[in-house]
């Protein structure tokens, strides 16, 4: 991939990051480009096909079939002299023959003996087993078994992949004795899918070099990453061949240390493309804040367009004044959904799940009995965590009970929903028959639960959640399950019965409970446990 030959790479010596700069960029939270490459997918799927240019070598297995006046079928090894032995024909020297020409080559030799009425078919069945050294900055250096047709990705994956903190993805060498057989830049594979076809032999070595200089690219890019380069500096234009920019990105904020002094600049993207970037530089691509208008989508009980283009800085009141409500619209329960809020809800949920996972995995049992119980408990929690990570928060901005809601600034991409004036109450979660029921102001919370078949066996009967149509929430404990609750129930409410947490650990019980409530409120769904 010629475009990824970094500037001055041939003329300049490789400059490693200063240890302090290296540590700083690694702790930035931005992933190393390529770090997800080696997750076992290559070592678990050795290459079994052969390209036409593969050259037959000693140790390969050739499947040969003869039929007609003479019949023969066998898998023949290529012996140390490079031959296969064909009965009635003798040795046929196939070493060095291209795989794509193997069948025709063998057939010609067969025809020298059997002039007529004998046909032949030869194909490469298995390549030579080899042992290859994998060393340098990999997680598990060693000698690994494979086949001569396997790619270097297979062997690198077998060695646990490249060390994230110290290994290079652009400086991988394949050595045969003292000879450099191939130098591989894995960015070519990651970006373009290009990988050199190598035939490895016994004793070949794959050597991963030390990590070179790197810069961090984030913000309005399709893949935020720490990107490695060769030489004392690079340019943003080269880095963006890897971390593709967002089409709307038009400015770059660059922070880096030059001559022991930290410098920061904010440049138009076209100008920033040729700005020298030194090891440890951090670049954030941004969409310039000189926005003239925003777009807000609307849906529900409205007549008119499905989206509105408003001036930048428009408020909720500016939008509401343009809406044409239908007769059955519930204007008191207008709902606003915002991507930035959903992202924050998602991040908060992930932090809680990470903390729960750490709590479960690091707890030390005191007895064998506790060990068995903890193992069962941990498996259950891990299953719950996997489910919870799939939850997608809605990002609702609650407008009710806020006198300043009308003056709230709208954001580009906001979604406004005007619901139908509702006449039902839904009961969901741990009840026998989750359902929707016609609202009746005489009914209590207990009445609605009874009409849904009552609590399920796994229901938490001590505390319920009521999600109101306007986005507000009520958490009700069992002391309020009486007639006093009649006034708090409204048409359109969703009564959410949460599951009971079965755990021997008090802290785990509390953590899971809070996560369940967070998911219920953020996604309007009850997650089972």
Angle (CA) 172-174-180 rounded to 5° is 110
Q: Which of 434, 437, 438 has the alpha carbon at shortest distance from 454? A: 434
- Spell out the SS3 assignment of 358-372: HHHHHCCCCCHHHHH
Q: Which of 475, 1, 21, 495 has the alpha carbon at shortest distance from 256? A: 21
Beta pairing, strands 205-210 & 129-136: parallel
pLDDT in tens, the chain (529 residues): 333 433 333 333 333 334 444 445 444 568 888 888 888 778 776 555 556 667 888 888 888 888 888 888 888 888 989 899 998 889 999 888 887 788 889 888 888 888 888 888 888 776 667 889 999 999 999 999 888 778 888 899 999 999 988 999 999 999 988 899 889 999 988 888 888 777 788 889 999 999 888 999 998 888 888 999 988 999 999 899 888 888 888 888 888 888 887 787 888 888 889 999 999 899 989 887 655 677 888 999 999 888 888 888 899 999 999 999 999 999 989 999 998 899 888 888 888 888 888 877 776 665 565 566 667 777 788 888 888 888 889 899 999 888 888 899 998 889 999 999 999 999 999 999 999 999 998 898 889 999 999 999 988 888 888 999 888 888 887 655 554 444 578 899 999 998 888 766 677 778 888 888 888 888 877 777 6
Q: DSSP label at 56?
A: P
> Where do runs of H (alpha helix) occur along 171-313?
186-192, 236-239, 269-272
What is the number of H-type helices and E-type strands within the chain?
A: 11, 29
φ and ψ of 403, to 5 deg: -65, -15
User: What number of residues does the chain have?
Assistant: 529
Q: Is 211 helix (H, G, I), strand (E, B) or coil?
A: coil
Q: What secondary structure does DSSP assign to 323-387, as a single string?
A: -EE-TTB-GGG-EEE-HHHHHHHHHHHHHHHHHHHHHHHHPPPSSHHHHHHHHHHHHHHHHHHHH
Angstrom distance (rounded) from CA 413 to CA 417: 13
Q: Is 219 helix (H, G, I), strand (E, B) or coil?
A: strand
Angle (CA) 498-499-502 rounded to 5° is 145
Helix axes 368-388, 339-362, angle to 10 degrees: 170
φ and ψ of 517, to 5 deg: -65, -40
What is the rounded radius of gyration, in angstroms, for the C-alpha atoms of the chain?
Answer: 33
Angstrom distance (rounded) from CA 348 to CA 471: 19
- Residue 265 forms beta bridges with which residues? 254
What pTM was estimated for this model as a whole?
0.46
Angstrom distance (rounded) from CA 161 to CA 18: 24
């Amino acid at each position: 991939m010629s475009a990824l030959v970094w500037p001055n790479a041939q003329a300049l010596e490789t400059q490693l990051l200063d240890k302090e700069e290296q540590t700083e960029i690694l702790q930035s939270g931005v992933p190393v480009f390529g770090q997800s490459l080696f997750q076992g997918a290559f070592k678990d799927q050795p290459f079994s096909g052969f390209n036409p240019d593969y050259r037959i070598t000693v140790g390969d297995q050739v499947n040969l079939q003869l039929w007609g006046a003479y019949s023969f079928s066998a898998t023949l090894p290529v012996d140390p002299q490079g031959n296969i032995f064909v009965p009635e024909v003798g040795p046929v020297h196939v070493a060095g023959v291209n795989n794509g020409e193997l069948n025709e080559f063998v057939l010609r030799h067969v025809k020298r003996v059997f002039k007529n009425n004998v046909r032949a078919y030869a194909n490469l069945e298995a390549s030579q087993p080899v042992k290859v050294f994998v060393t340098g900055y990999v997680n598990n250096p060693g000698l690994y078994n494979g086949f001569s047709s396997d790619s270097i990705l297979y062997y690198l994956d077998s060695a646990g992949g490249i060390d994230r903190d110290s290994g290079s993805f652009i400086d991988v060498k394949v050595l045969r004795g003292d000879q450099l057989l191939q130098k591989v830049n894995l960015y070519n594979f990651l970006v373009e899918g290009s990988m050199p076809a190598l035939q490895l032999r016994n004793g070949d070595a794959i050597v991963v070099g030390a990590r070179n200089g790197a810069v961090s690219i984030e913000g309005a890019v399709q893949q935020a990453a720490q990107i490695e380069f060769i030489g004392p500096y690079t340019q943003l234009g080269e880095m963006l061949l890897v971390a593709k920019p967002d089409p709307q990105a038009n400015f770059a904020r660059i922070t880096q240390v030059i001559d022991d002094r930290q410098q920061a600049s904010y440049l138009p993207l076209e100008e920033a493309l040729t700005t020298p970037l030194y090891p440890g530089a951090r670049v954030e691509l941004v969409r310039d804040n000189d926005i003239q208008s925003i777009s807000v989508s609307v849906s529900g009980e409205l007549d008119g367009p499905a989206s509105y283009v408003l001036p930048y800085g428009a408020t909720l009141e500016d939008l509401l004044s343009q809406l044409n409500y239908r007769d059955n619209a519930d204007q008191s329960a207008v709902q606003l959904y915002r991507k930035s809020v959903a992202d924050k809800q998602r991040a908060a949920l992930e932090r809680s799940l990470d903390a729960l996972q750490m709590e479960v995995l690091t707890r030390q049992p005191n007895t064998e009995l506790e060990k068995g119980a903890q193992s069962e408990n941990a498996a259950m929690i891990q299953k719950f965590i996997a489910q919870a990570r799939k939850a997608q928060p809605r990002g609702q901005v609650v407008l009710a009970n806020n006198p300043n809601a009308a003056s709230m600034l709208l954001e580009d991409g906001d979604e406004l929903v005007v619901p139908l004036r509702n006449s039902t109450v839904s009961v969901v979660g741990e009840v026998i028959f989750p359902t929707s029921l016609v609202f009746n102001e005489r009914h209590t919370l207990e009445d609605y639960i009874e009409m849904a078949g009552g609590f399920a066996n796994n229901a938490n009967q001590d505390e319920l959640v009521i999600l109101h149509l306007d986005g507000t929430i009520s958490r009700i404990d069992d002391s309020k399950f009486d007639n006093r609750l009649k006034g708090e129930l409204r048409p359109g409410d969703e009564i959410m019965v949460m599951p009971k947490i079965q755990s021997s650990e008090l802290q785990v019980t509390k953590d899971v409970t809070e996560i369940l409530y967070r998911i219920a409120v953020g996604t309007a769904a009850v997650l089972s446990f």
